[in-house]
Amino acid sequence: MAGVKLHYFNGRGKMESIRWLLAAAEVEFDECHLTTRDQYLKMVNDRDLMFQQVPMVEIDGMKLVQTKAILNYIAEKYKLHGNDIKERVKINMYVEGLMDLMEMIMMLPFTKEPKLDNIEKKAKERYLPVFEEQLKTGVHLVGGRMTVADVLLLECTLMLEELFPEILKNFRSVKDFQDRMQKEPAISRFLQPGSKRKPRPDDGYVKTVMEVFDLK
């Protein structure tokens, strides 16, 4: 049995970037899927969730919460972070930007009037140009080797293409980066059917989240 255990819904949400990073680091993990409110309340009562929120990851004898803290821990432990504080702050800036964009996509199934145009415009005008510029001169975003920023950029571009298949047409360097990253053995395995990568959210996923958190 793997030593790492993820506690979350059987869906992407905030846990998916953590799954991506563990897969890139070639770390095996188990998952405990949250399906009922009772299960969630038990975790709260047992004080397993510091702020009564998931994602929660059991690793190295700790119960970690807060997605960014978890990503940072995994990135540092498995050498997917920067070599010095200047590299690390740059990686953190990329990661924060990517998470802002992915959060907008993540919220779509829970939004009554989704503003897809706004997401596409922001992706094309605010986010993708930054990565295109950087990748014109390098194989990776920071430090000449794969980091958490690269992993999340790949995750994010694949999410964007699910919604806007042509979105990378004018971002050639990002597209080339995406192709290269998908050929990395660990990532290629994660992209195969049957891996722990989750599909796009469906009505069942939304219903479970609403029930577990008692949302109307």
Contact map string, positions 9 to 28, toward ligand GSN, x by CB under 6 A:
----xx--------------
Instruction: Read off the tokens for 102.
Output: 């992915």
The residue within the footprint of ligand GSN, chosen from 17, 67, 134, 208 (CB under 6 A), is: 67
Q: 199 or 213, CB closer to ligand GSN?
A: 213
Is residue 173 a contact residue for ligand GSN (CB under 6 A)?
no
Contact 80, 70 (CB under 8 A): no
The residue within the footprint of ligand GSN, chosen from 4, 10, 32, 53 (CB under 6 A), is: 53
Give one DSSP letter per residue of 96-146, joined into a string: HHHHHHHHHHHHGGG-SS--HHHHHHHIIIIIHHHHHHHHTS-SSSSTTS-
Contact 67, 139 (CB under 8 A): no
Of 19-27, 53-61, 80-88, 165-173, the segment contacting ligand GSN by CB under 6 A is 53-61
Of 50-58, 75-83, 145-153, 192-200, the segment contacting ligand GSN by CB under 6 A is 50-58
Cα(151)–Cα(4) distance, rounded to whole angstroms?
19
Q: Which residues bind ligand GSN (CB under 6 A)?
A: 13-14, 52-55, 66-67, 213
